[in-house]
């Protein structure tokens, strides 16, 4: 930290304008193509829908668009948040042990395993989801295995299978979301686990703390920044995602992302679609704030 300040001071001496010259092009781009569009979206969400398809949206503080968003699409909205929430929790439960293994048990294989975790990033997101169609369809290997184990009825009764089917069910959608966002949960958790000072863990063990307690009191609290980052990186995109719901679900698993896309590109109902978009943003922001408070990690964001 002290070294940082020292360099900063020296740089400031070197020239005060240079950093701003470096910043301006990128920041201007960000302003024009990120901030301005969001303002435009907000304006359209409060505009009156024209009678015919003319681009004359009038800004009239039309709050009814927001009521329409909840009244007409509340189900899909709730469903998206529920799917994303479940997928995030499962991701955390799977990713944490793997990250722990890579950080503490993998030895010299650490970087190889880390590289392997990143490999899914380099394959088409869509095709990975389509691969689940091959795996889960009625003549695919998963159903085949279940049949051979004679487990169809049991799994049907606990709700994992839907009349013997796996593809085009809620389970498939949630499984797809979990799969697609798992690396986003894993990598930040790994980064914070890697930084845990092993001497603290040793000290705790030397003082006769059983491992479960060392984990609860030392390791887990130190990994919370990673858990926080991972949860956000999973939950936020999963809430807006509609690829999994479209490719692995059925008409009853439609999520809010599909609604927004259809309203914009097919129905041309821009005000309602814009209002839905802002509701999603607002809900996510609220949840992130509550979550940050709950974890006590405001300073981490």
Partner 1 sequence: MSRTRALRRIRWGTIALWVVTILGFAYLFIPLITIAVFSFNDPEGRFNTTWSGFTLDHWKDPFPAGDYTDAFIVSLRVAFVACTIATVLGALIALALARYRILGGTWLNLLLILPLTTPEIVFGASLFTLFFNQGVSRGFWTIVIAHTMFCLSFVALTVKARIRGLDWSLEDAAADLGSPPMRTFFKITFPLIIPGVLAAFLLSLALSIDDYIITSFIAGSVSTFPREIFDSAKVEIPPQVHVLATLIMVVAILILVVGTLVGERRRARLG
CB nearer partner 1, residue 158 or residue 265: 265
The CA distances from residue 293 to 91, 216, 298, in Å, are 21, 20, 6
Contact residue for partner 1 among 1, 52, 55, 158 (CB under 8 A): 55
291 belongs to the binding site for partner 1 (CB under 8 A): no
Q: How far is the CB of 115 from partner 1 (least distance, A)?
A: 6
290 belongs to the binding site for partner 1 (CB under 8 A): no
Whats the size of the chain, residue-wise?
A: 301
C-alpha–C-alpha distance, residues 276 and 280, integer Å: 6
CB nearer partner 1, residue 40 or residue 75: 40
For residues 216-255, which are near partner 1 according to CB under 8 A? Answer: 232, 236-237, 239-243, 246-247
Q: How far is the CB of 45 from partner 1 (least distance, A)?
A: 9
CB nearer partner 1, residue 54 or residue 157: 54
* Tokens linked to 96: 């944490």
Q: How far is the CB of 237 from partner 1 (least distance, A)?
A: 7
273 belongs to the binding site for partner 1 (CB under 8 A): yes
Of 118, 231, 125, nearest in space to 183 by CA: 118
For residues 63-102, which are near partner 1 according to CB under 8 A? Answer: 94-95, 97-98, 100-102
Site residue total, partner 1 (CB under 8 A)? 90
Q: Which helix (H) or strand (E) holds 47?
A: strand 47-48
CA 10, chain centre distance (Å): 40
Q: Which helix (H) or strand (E) holds 221?
A: helix 220-240
C-alpha–C-alpha distance, residues 197 and 222, integer Å: 9
3-state secondary structure 86-120: HHHHHHHHHHHHHHHHHHHHCHHHHHHHHHHHHHH
Tell me the three state secondary structure of residue 92.
Answer: helix
124 belongs to the binding site for partner 1 (CB under 8 A): yes
CA 62, chain centre distance (Å): 31
Please list the residues that pair with 58 across neighbouring strands: 48
* Tokens linked to 221: 């609290």
For residues 11-50, which are near partner 1 according to CB under 8 A? Answer: 11-12, 14, 18-20, 22-23, 25-27, 29-30, 33-38, 40-41, 44
CB nearer partner 1, residue 6 or residue 153: 6
CB nearer partner 1, residue 60 or residue 261: 261
CB nearer partner 1, residue 200 or residue 281: 281
* 150-158, 220-228, 279-287, 289-297 -> range binding partner 1 (CB under 8 A): 279-287
* 65-73, 158-166, 176-184, 194-202 -> range binding partner 1 (CB under 8 A): 176-184
C-alpha–C-alpha distance, residues 91 and 289, integer Å: 21
160 belongs to the binding site for partner 1 (CB under 8 A): no
107 belongs to the binding site for partner 1 (CB under 8 A): no
C-alpha–C-alpha distance, residues 288 and 95, integer Å: 20
* 10-18, 59-67, 151-159, 192-200 -> range binding partner 1 (CB under 8 A): 10-18
């Amino acid at each position: 930290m002290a070294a940082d300040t020292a360099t900063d001071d020296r740089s400031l001496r070197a020239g005060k304008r240079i950093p701003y010259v470096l910043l301006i092009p990128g920041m201007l781009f960000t302003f024009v193509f990120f901030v301005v569009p969001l303002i435009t979206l907000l304006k359209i969400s409060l505009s009156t829908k024209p009678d015919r398809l003319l681009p004359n949206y009038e800004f009239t503080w039309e709050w009814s668009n927001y009521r329409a968003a909840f009244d007409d699409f509340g189900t899909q909205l709730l469903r998206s948040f529920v799917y994303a929430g479940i997928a995030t929790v499962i991701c955390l439960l799977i990713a944490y042990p793997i990250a722990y293994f890579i950080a503490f048990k993998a030895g010299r294989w650490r970087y190889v395993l880390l590289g392997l975790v990143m490999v899914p990033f380099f394959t088409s997101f869509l095709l990975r989801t389509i691969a689940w169609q091959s795996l889960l369809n009625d003549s695919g290997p998963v159903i085949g295995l279940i049949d051979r184990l004679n487990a169809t009825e049991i799994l049907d009764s606990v709700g994992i299978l839907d009349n013997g089917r796996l593809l085009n069910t809620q389970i498939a959608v949630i499984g797809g979301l979990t799969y697609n966002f798992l690396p986003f949960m894993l990598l930040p958790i790994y980064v914070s686990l890697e930084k845990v000072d092993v001497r603290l863990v040793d000290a705790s063990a030397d003082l006769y703390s059983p491992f479960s307690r060392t984990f609860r009191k030392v390791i887990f609290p130190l990994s919370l920044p990673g858990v926080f980052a991972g949860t956000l990186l999973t939950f936020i995109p999963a809430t807006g995602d509609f690829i999994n719901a479209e490719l692995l679900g059925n008409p009853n698993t439609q999520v809010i992302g599909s609604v927004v896309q259809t309203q914009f590109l097919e129905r041309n109902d821009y005000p309602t679609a814009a209002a839905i978009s802002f509701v999603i943003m607002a809900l996510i922001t609220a949840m992130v704030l509550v979550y940050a408070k709950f974890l006590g990690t405001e300073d981490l964001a």
